[in-house]
Amino acid sequence: MRKPYIAANWKMTKTIEETEEFIRSFIPLVKDINDVDILIAPPFTALSAASSLLKDTNIKLGAQNMYFEENGAYTGEISPRMLLSAGCSTVIIGHSERRQYFQETDEIVNKKIKLARANNLEVILCIGESLEEREANKTFEVLENQLAGSLKDLSLDEITIAYEPIWAIGTGKTASKEQANEAHTCVREWLRKNKDGADDVRIQYGGSVKPDNVVELMSQPEVDGALVGGASLEAESFSKIVAGAVKK
């Protein structure tokens, strides 16, 4: 059975001091949970401070994004080597907000994943459809196209897929457990047809995951975890999501 994987994406929230306060509160709440992989992705400015506090704990450190070049004149961007130096093991790539607000295409996402893996960074690849695409019955087509473009010429080694329906991110709307499992099944079937090792890949659900719906979502056979936004900003709330992710 695939080990559940719960990741916190804090987006553009929390100062260094707020990050430290959260981590000090969070560590004791989850220190005895060993059957769930846990990751926190704070903003870039707080990575180094978070790394120091997370050392020798059961919590991994991730980044929310990176650039697709090793170094150079790219003002404001972050390289994989910088993330590694700050203590990251993982990077989130292709989040819908990056695609929407910063015009990141599947081609750009693909370049980022290739560079991340070349630097031994684990990857959480985000995919998902808009409300208009779902209502037009294009969900599966969108997911398959994003997978094909984002994973072109890549193996599945150390890659996690996060299915995030755009219409459920930060809206309070959540895909039903059946909708989530249906989309995850589509992802799994595409991976099986096109890549080796598909059954080992973990598929997270993201989109208004909360302590009161995580158990229901995790009850589905193809839901292996969650990529959590707003509900990960409070230590107690996020710890309840982690605890609720244990597969029964």
How far from 26 is each of 17, 92, 126, CA to CA, in Å? 14, 21, 25
Q: Taking the CA atoms of 132, 100, 105 and 199 in sequence, report the sign of the dihedral they define.
A: negative
- CA nearest neighbour of 52 among 8, 10, 19: 19
Catalytic-residue membership of 104: no
Catalytic residue among 95, 97, 104, 222: 95
Tokens of residue 198, six digits: 């598909």
Catalytic residue among 97, 133, 164, 222: 164
Catalytic-residue membership of 164: yes
How many Å apart are CA 175 and CA 134, to the nearest integer?
11
Q: Where are the beta strands (DSSP E) in the chain?
A: 5-9, 37-41, 59-63, 90-93, 122-127, 159-163, 203-205, 225-228
How far from 49 is each of 16, 133, 232, CA to CA, in Å? 7, 40, 18
**237: Cβ contacts below 8 Å, ≥ 6 apart:** 210, 211, 231
Catalytic residue numbers, as ranges: 95, 164
